[in-house]
Amino acid sequence: MDDARISLCFIVNNLDCGGLEKVVISLANTLDASRYKIFLICLNGKGVLFPQLCLPEANILVLRKTTRFNFHFFREISVFFQKNNIQIAHAHNIAPLIFSGIAAKISRPQPLVIFTEHNQIFRLSSFGKWKFKHIYLNLAQHIVTCSCQLKKYYEQHLGTRRKINVIHNGIDGSKFHNLNKQEYKDLFKIPKNKFIIGTAVVISEQKGIKYLVKAAASVCKLRDDIHFVIAGDGPLKNDIQKRIDDNKLERKITLIGYCNEVQKFIATLDLYVLPSLWEGLPLALLEAMAAGKPIVATSVGGNQEIVEENVNGKIVPPRNEKALAEAILDLYDKKNEDFQKISANNFNKFNRLFSLNSMVENYSRFYLSTLSKS
């Protein structure tokens, strides 16, 4: 009997740390196996999160991308599509769209190509955005953004007139419930008698951590019972450590490095801060929300779809350490009267809009809809 399941292939650069990669792993591991047969193509190696993937080896193609144009590379992807009768090729970010889109065109039959934008568009130059709009985006039959703000950017700044579908990212919130705060403070060597403010991110330019360090310097001059903790690794980790050392903040800010137990780390926090310069819909904020933590975030990307001013946190302009410090102090001063209400608001909103089940169900309906119209 023929396999009646839908053959769905995700295409990514790799499964290194990041929200996009976690979304793909969650979809691949959670979509209904009786309805979908899942495949994955990594264009540039496996990545550190690859072991979390629950797929048969035969369903995975791992390549090593080079900077040179290589027709054989497209051919390998096309052969994989044809061998597995791929019906939907779902590309996450621009390079996967280019490679899978071209490979789809030389495949028989041709799979539908879906492109999900997470936040990469903000990193392109003006000419890069022109090429993307007029050339690369045409490789996809369907476009998805992970936030309403990204959709708005495509329409207003990129001038895209095509239909854009919004599907919010989601996570398994149960991992962030009922964790022992004091126990995990010992695990991460975090002071027990302080109000703990922190973040867990890839330490890159995008995340704006230098502005958090500047804000922390101001906050700690006014409140001696506040301690900042930054979890994560990345290209700017050494630069951030130097900023901490140069400002003599070693006793006020702890940089703990890469953390593979983020839910335990977030449990130790009293307040979560994300000072990003650009975003799509960051999983970091969904994790903080699932844990019921008050949040201070910048007014970029989908952050404002997660954080509502004075409902479950505060929104501040990016690149503004003064506003960041003021928002932190405002929430700190209200901690006894408002935090229980904020936690309840976070739990309710998370379960309504950003759970793993919501994301998986929304994508599943979308996949079925695209096939029915093809």
CATH of the domain at 181: 3.40.50.2000
pLDDT value, residue 64? 87
Residues with Cβ within 8 Å of residue 270, at least 6 apart in sequence: 195, 196, 197, 293, 294, 335, 339
Pair of tokens at residue 145: 């953004």
Domain count, the chain: 2
234: left (phi over 0), alpha (psi -120 to 50) or beta: left
Within this chain, do residues 239 and 300 fall inside the same structural domain, yes or no?
yes
Structure confidence at residue 2 (pLDDT) = 62
pLDDT tens readout for residues 42-67: 999 999 999 999 999 999 999 987 65
- Tell whether 186 and 325 lie within a shared domain: yes
Same domain, 143 and 188: no
* pLDDT of res. 11: 98
In 133-232 the beta strands, taken as DSSP E runs, fall at 142-145, 164-166, 195-200, 226-231
Of the candidates 223, 162, 171, which has an alpha carbon nearest to the alpha carbon of residue 196? 223
**Who wins on pLDDT, 66 or 292?**
292
307 and 362: one domain? Answer: no
Question: How do residues 2-24 score in pLDDT, each as one tens digit?
Answer: 678 999 999 999 998 788 999 99
Strand order in the sheet with 164-166: 60-62, 36-42, 6-12, 88-92, 112-117, 142-145, 164-166
For residues 193 and 57, membership in a common domain is answered with no
Residues 257 and 362 grouped into a single domain: no
Instruction: Output the CA torsion 314→320→326→327 (10° steps).
Output: 10
Domain that holds residue 286: 173-354
pLDDT value, residue 334: 84
Verify that 350 and 362 share a domain, yes or no: no
In a domain, 265, yes or no: yes
Average pLDDT of the segment spanning 304-313? 92
Let me know if residue 21 belongs to a domain.
yes
pLDDT at 369: 94
Same domain, 221 and 144: no
Beta-sheet pairing, 6-12 with 112-117? unpaired
User: Is residue 133 located within the same domain as residue 216?
Assistant: no
The DSSP element (H or E) to which 240 belongs, if any, is helix 237-246
User: Do residues 51 and 178 share a domain?
Assistant: no
pLDDT at 69 over 70: no
Q: What is the pLDDT of residue 203?
A: 94
pLDDT digits (tens, 9 = 90+) for 153-211: 999 989 888 999 999 999 999 888 877 777 788 788 888 889 999 999 999 999 999 99
What confidence tens digit (pLDDT) does each residue in 199-234 have?
Answer: 999 999 999 999 999 999 999 999 999 999 999 999
76 within domain boundaries: yes
Has residue 145 got a pLDDT over 90? Answer: yes
213-237 b/e (C-beta count within 10 Å ≥ 16 → b): bbbbbebbeeeeebbbbbbbbbebb
Q: Confidence class of residue 1 from pLDDT cuts 50, 70 and 90? A: very low
Residue 245 lies in a domain: yes
Does some domain include residue 1?
Answer: no
Q: Is residue 100 part of a domain?
A: yes
Quick: pLDDT tens for 108-142.
999 999 999 998 898 899 999 999 999 999 999 99
Tell me whether residue 94 is in a domain: yes
Q: What is the mean pLDDT of the chain?
A: 92
Predicted pLDDT at 188: 84
pLDDT of residue 73: 87
> CB under 8 Å to 322, separation ≥6 — which residues?
215, 218
Provide mean pLDDT across the span 247-263: 90
How far apart (Å, rounded) are the C-alpha atoms in residues 285 and 299? 13
Asked if residue 115 and residue 79 are part of one domain, the reply reads yes
In a domain, 360, yes or no: yes
| Same-domain pairing of 72 and 132 | yes
- What's the pLDDT score for residue 269? 94
